[in-house]
Chain A
Amino acid sequence: MAALARKATLILLSLMILAFGALLAACEAEETPTSEVPAERQELRIRTPGEPTTLDPQIAAFASDINIIKQLFRGLLWYDQNLGIVPAAAKETPSKENGGISEDGLTYTFRLRDDLVWSDGEPLTASDFEYSLKRLFDPEVGAHGYYYGFYINIVGSEAYAAGEGSAEEVAVTAIDDTTLEIKLTRVQPTLLQLLALWPAFPVRQDVVEEHGDAWTEAGNLIGNGPFVLKEWVHDDHITLEANANYWGDDKPTLQRIVFRMIPDESVALIAYQNNELDMTAIPLPDTGRFEGNPESLKYAELATVALGFNNTREPFTDPLVRKAFRMAVDSQAYVDSVRQGSGLPAFSWIPPGMPGYNPDIGTDYPFDPEGAKGLLAQAGYPDGEGLPDITITIGDTQASRLTAQFLQEQLRTNLGVNIDIEVLESATYQDRYLASEFQFTLVGWRADYADPENWLPQLFGTDAGLNQYKYSNPAVDDLFAQAAVELDNGKRLDLYDQAQEIIIDEDMGTAPLYYSIRNWLVKPWVAGIITTGLDSSPGDWFYTNVRILAH
């Protein structure tokens, strides 16, 4: 009887092993022949991680939401594939030469195109833009979002957002149907870039007023972009259809875009392999498997991950300690072995591809365990003696756990310093992080727009809103103040460069670890993807250029 039992278990075990073997053996990628002929069904299927928080441009904050919003609306300006500014709803980009920008740089005048219409055929005028931009500062609407602060130099905006002013006092005025005037309290060299972003997209006043919070539902939402919101089945998918009334020069070839909501990225990969999706991100564990795959799409993401020190807590008050920590970490090994090649080791904060990138910054502190130990000794902690307990506090994502464990081991073997890892539930972590209640953590940043202004002042200015690492250096603050009003772009970039040099080379206020890259798979029948560093999802500034080939 016992023998029979053993037999049965053996049979079952071997079945299990066979099943696994079958999984390992089979091949996955199938080559589907594609021609250059456009397909009958021009439909692009993409994954979005979940239900959008909102599709309201003045409130939206998450990349996945913005991905969709960018198809439904067009603002005054847009980006080209090199991240230069081109006109969209405006006839031309304002400049000093064409009178769009006043001499003192405080007044911007936009001349709109004559053919602007909403997707239902109603004309789109400058007063729509006036309404939308003012809405951005409405204490009930945009002013509880994240991005209105970008535009706070518009006269009257700050007071309105604080609840002290009124919409009338905000200096965004529709002079006539095709002319919009914006006045600033002080010069802002990056305003044009910012006006190409989603918080400046126009929305329909009567629709918003009629439907209130439900105005973004399918059937209610009216936009002026190349696509309309055809269907929104909550928690399942969103369907966009080409806008028959689209006025732009870049009319879409696609008839439909479907955003399927799939929370798990490994499942998304499986859906892609089953031809349920046309594009998907390659999850980190599968990076090696798809290396060299003809469907792979890799490009720089304009994002950096770094070691975040709380500069006001021991031992990170001492720049020598911070530098020692950086030098003890082998970011090349991290990228090559742990991330299987996905990414680039980082030494400067601003990544390559961004204006203001300087490859020399941070290179004085390469991976050098001996040098690191030396610096630590210099700081007064020979062999790590005398160091207080160090804890790295992270949120509960897979990526953070991985990086934190890597760092812990690097510091232990290369520097002889033992740190603890504290994993907090995500909302708890956010809470602690935002209050700067941490000693050591992981930080990251991704570009909102292509300018060092987005990477430095709000993150490293003394008491700046996003400066949770409590970094403070008056010399840097000074450079920021100068750059904020410097209209000469070359000089401005130079000022930011000097600032970055101080932040990293002198102070190591934060220690960059790696630059992330996008690693995606795209089906061979998807043509015309144009990627930029500011994508929320690859190619999403230019879905109008995408076409599906017959397959």
Chain B
Amino acid sequence: MIVYATRRLLGMIPVLFFIAVVTFALMHAVPGGPWDREKRLPPQALANVEAKYGLDKPVFAPSWRVWEQEFWRELPDTQFVNYITDAIRGDLGVSYRQLNRPVADILLEGIRISATLGLMALVVSTVVGMAFGILSALRQNSWLDYACVAFATLGASVPNFVLGLLLMVLFTVHLHWLPSSGWTNPTTFFFLSIPSNWKQLVMPLIALSAFPTAYIMRVVRASLLEVLHQDYVRTARAKGLAEHVVVMRHMLRNAFIPVLTVLGPVAAFLVTGSFIIEYLFAIPGIGRQFVYSISARDYGVIMGATLFYAVVVAAANLIVDLTYVVVDPRIRY
């Protein structure tokens, strides 16, 4: 299994490289640049600033003649090559949107916050989703079942920007129970970032968990239902085992496998942050930074965030695959 994991990890490197190439190409192919804002920069100013940030160099490859002559002596001086060589050394460049702030700082701060919110949402959705799922599967086709399904699906059927604002109007404007937004004075707890006012977590958590909760609930319900009809469950019941023993020991473990499959992408989605939630609730997470950087053509942040996202997805899938081994003894790598 170690071999398998190492193989997968190494396999990520060419994938990341390829993603870097494609992102770089796309970024520069799309019209507009970091300095095209409301007013046009005078040509001299534009030339100055491009020179300062190395944006006047060729994107991928220098002209052919130079390529032929000097490639073996030193790496070509192009934007892409410079980016890769710098990145390997840990220098991800600076942001153009937050002028001259190191990209690594921006990413780190954003990732901490999104990861915190995302992990909390993951826990909440898994717990609540499983609870509802188990409940409705055990009482299949009862009004409780329909109510659970309807409620969960309803919460996930409203676009989350509507849900977010709705929550704010209810809890902030009318009830004055919760603050509107923000992530103030966070303390860093290991890798996580927790705001000093816990109330700021509540609404974003609800809004973020709505969809995954419904999704997980349905997956749990469906897989439990499948398991319910299996022979071994009937056998266990026939043996006279108490219901809760049947459920816990026999059904849940088997039902959990499909849930794991789903948890991977759900976790990846949550951890990488939701732009809408972070934008509405003024949470400085990576999801929001990412979208801002795309509009602002903030190349450094776009590259960093894309690579981060790819790593997270690959890691999530790897963890899920590895956890299969633990849960399902039939699977061996």
Which A positions have Cβ atoms within 8 angstroms of B? 1, 4-5, 7-9, 11-12, 16, 19, 22-23, 26, 28, 50-51, 53-54, 56, 59, 61, 139-140, 143-146, 148-149, 161-163, 213-214, 233-237, 260-264, 266-267, 270-271, 273-274, 276, 425-432, 434, 465-466, 468
Residues on B with beta carbons closer than 8 Å to the beta carbon of A264: 279-280, 282
Contacts of A271 in B (CB 8 A): 172, 179-181
Contact size class for B?
Answer: 35 or more
Complex CA distance for A426 and B38, rounded to whole angstroms: 10
Q: Are A234 and B169 in contact (CB under 8 A)?
A: no
Give every chain B residue within 8 A of A144 (Cβ-Cβ). Answer: 35, 41, 45-46, 48-49, 52
| Complex CA distance for A432 and B142, rounded to whole angstroms | 59
Query: With A264-B280, A270-B173 in contact, do A465 and B40 touch (Cβ < 8 Å)?
Result: yes
Q: How far is the CA of A93 from the CA of B185 in the complex (A)?
A: 45
Question: Is B258 at the interface (CB under 8 A from chain A)?
Answer: no
B174 at the A/B interface (Cβ < 8 Å)?
yes
Contact between chains at A9 and B150 (CB < 8 Å): yes
Complex Cα gap A25–B29 (Å): 51
A140 touches B173 (CB 8 A): no
Residue of B nearest to A446 (CB): B38
Minimum distance in angstroms from B190 CB to a CB of chain A: 20
Given contacts A144-B48, A236-B184, A236-B284, contact A427 B100 (CB under 8 A): no
> Which of A148, A266, A434 has the largest number of chain B CB atoms within 10 A?
A434
Residue of A nearest to B100 (CB): A213
B residues within 8 A CB of A163? 44, 48
Contact pick for B169, options A8, A23, A162, A276, CB 8 Å = A23
* 19 intermolecular pairs with C-beta atoms under 8 Å apart: A1-B141, A4-B142, A12-B147, A26-B174, A61-B38, A146-B45, A213-B99, A214-B100, A262-B282, A267-B168, A267-B181, A270-B181, A427-B32, A427-B33, A428-B30, A428-B32, A431-B31, A466-B39, A468-B40
| Closest residue on chain A to residue B37 by CB atoms | A430
Per-position binary interface string of chain B over residues 92-107, scored 1 when its CB falls under 8 Å from any chain A CB and 0 otherwise: 0010011111000010
In the assembled complex, the Cα of A61 lies from the Cα of B174 at a distance in Å of 38
> Would A19 and B101 be within 8 Å (CB), given that A144-B45, A234-B109 are in contact?
no
> Does chain A have a CB within 8 A of B36?
yes
Q: A274-B173, A430-B37, A466-B40 are in contact. Are A234 and B48 (CB under 8 A)?
A: no
Which of B41, B109, B281 contacts A235 (CB under 8 A)? B109
Q: Are A54 and B99 within 8 A (Cβ)?
A: yes
Further 4 A-B residue pairs, CB within 8 A, beyond A1-B141, A144-B46, A149-B42: A51-B98, A261-B282, A427-B30, A431-B31
Cα–Cα, bound, A88→B169 (Å): 45
Distance to closest chain B CB from A18 (angstroms):
12
Q: Per-residue 0/1 for B160-183: is the Cβ within 8 Å of any A Cβ (1 yes, 0 no)?
A: 000001101110111010011111
Contact of A427 among B48, B182, B295 (CB under 8 A): B295
B149 to chain A, nearest CB (A): 9
Q: Which residue of B lies closest to A65 (CB)?
A: B99
Q: Are B169 and A140 in contact (CB-based, < 8 A)?
A: no
Closest 7 pairs between A and B when the two form their complex, measured CB to CB: A235-B284, A427-B32, A213-B100, A144-B49, A431-B32, A430-B36, A271-B180
Closest chain B CB from A162 CB (angstroms): 5
Q: A7-B143, A8-B143, A23-B169 are in contact. Are A145 and B45 (CB under 8 A)?
A: yes
How many angstroms between the C-alpha atoms of A209 and B173 in the bound complex?
Answer: 47
Q: With contacts A54-B99, A144-B45, A273-B172 known, is A267 near B281, CB below 8 A? A: yes
Q: Give the contacting residue for A234; candidates B46, B176, B284; CB below 8 A.
A: B284
Shortest CB distance B84–A (Å): 23
Q: Is the CB of B183 within 8 A of A236?
A: yes
Q: Write out the residue numbers on chain A whose beta carbons fall within 8 Å of the beta carbon of B41.
A: 144, 146
B106 → chain A, closest Cβ, in Å?
Answer: 8
Please encode chain B, from 188 to 203, with 1 for each CB lying within 8 Å of some chain A CB and 0 for all others: 0000000000000000
Q: Is the CB of A234 within 8 A of B181?
A: no
Supposing A5-B143, A427-B31 touch, asked if A23 and B170 sit within 8 A by C-beta, the answer is: yes
Which residue in B32, B52, B182, B280 is a CB contact (below 8 Å) of A430? Answer: B32
A465 contacts across to B, CB distance below 8 A: 40, 42
Which of chain A's residues have a CB closer than 8 A to the CB of B42? 149, 465
Residues of A within 8 A of B214 (CB): none
- Does A140 contact B143, Cβ atoms closer than 8 Å? no
B241 part of interface (Cβ distance < 8 Å): no
Q: In the complex the two chains form, is B279's CB within 8 Å of A146's CB?
A: no
A273 touching B282, Cβ below 8 Å: no
Query: A5 to B145, alpha carbons, bound, how many Å?
Result: 9
A466–B35 CA distance with the chains assembled, in angstroms: 15
Verify B101–A426 contact, CB threshold 8 A: no
| Smallest beta-carbon distance A231→chain B, Å | 10
- A276 touching B180 in the complex, CB below 8 Å, given contacts A51-B98, A264-B279: yes
What chain B residues lie within 8 Å of A233 (beta carbons)?
184-185
